[in-house]
């Protein structure tokens, strides 16, 4: 296994950013989120980049952000939910400690409705999530070395389970 201590993937609203922060605290390492890297690279918030430049341009920038983060960062890394759609990104993730956070549609819909800007889920977020889930679930499952249910308990407890599973997977 190479790269960061953990790379969190999963649907928007699964809790990659929230759980990632907790996990970094538990492991006493730093936390990085590629949405923030995209924001820094573009000079504007990631959702704005996605909305203004379109998804192909966003994915390319995100691919650059993920590539740099995988090379530079040894702590916990949270990706944007759609990062795995880029074939080059998937290639770089193979051999990494990839953790898939999963949750049901109801949980995801409640969270993204109540949460910040996600341009791909404007409008009917439940229908949008269903579509995204269909396309992405096989990709998440194909990349993950650890898979964790990310609902019905808080980010801290989820992070604790991940820490145990990663330690076991490393043996």
Ligand X SMILES: Nc1ncnc2c1ncn2[C@@H]1O[C@H](COP(=O)(O)OP(=O)(O)O)[C@@H](O)[C@H]1O
Ligand Y SMILES: O=C(O)C1=C[C@@H](OP(=O)(O)O)[C@@H](O)[C@H](O)C1
Q: How many chain residues touch ligand X (CB under 6 A)?
A: 16
Please, what is the end-to-end C-alpha distance for the chain in angstroms?
11
CB of 116 to Mg ion, least distance (A): 9
- 158 binds, options Mg ion, ligand X, ligand Y, none, Cβ within 5 to 8 A by partner type: ligand X
Shorter beta-carbon distance to ligand X: residue 109 or 171 = 109
- Given 120, 144, 159, 162, the residue binding ligand Y (CB under 6 A): 120
Q: Does 15 bind ligand Y (CB under 6 A)?
A: no
CB of 11 to ligand X, least distance (A): 7
Do 36 and 61 contact (CB within 8 A), yes or no?
no
Size of the chain in residues = 171
Dihedral of CA atoms 131, 135, 136, 138 in degrees, nearest 10, equals: 130
Do 148 and 162 contact (CB within 8 A), yes or no?
yes
Q: Does 12 bind ligand X (CB under 6 A)?
A: yes
């Amino acid at each position: 296994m190479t790269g960061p201590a953990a790379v969190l993937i999963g649907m928007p609203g699964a809790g990659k950013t929230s759980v990632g922060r907790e996990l970094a605290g538990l492991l006493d390492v730093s936390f990085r989120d590629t949405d923030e890297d995209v924001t820094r690279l573009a000079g504007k918030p990631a959702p704005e980049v996605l909305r203004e430049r379109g998804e192909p341009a966003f994915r390319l920038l995100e691919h650059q952000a993920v590539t740099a983060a995988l090379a530079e960062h040894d702590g916990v890394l949270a990706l944007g939910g759609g990062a795995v759609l880029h074939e080059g990104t998937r290639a770089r993730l193979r051999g990494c400690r990839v953790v898939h956070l999963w949750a049901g549609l109801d949980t995801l819909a409640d969270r993204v409705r109540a949460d910040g800007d996600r341009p791909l889920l404007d409008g009917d977020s439940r229908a949008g999530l269903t579509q995204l889930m269909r396309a992405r679930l096989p990709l998440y499952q194909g990349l993950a070395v650890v898979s964790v249910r990310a609902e019905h308990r808080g980010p801290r407890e989820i992070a604790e389970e991940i820490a145990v599973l990663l330690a076991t997977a490393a043996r």
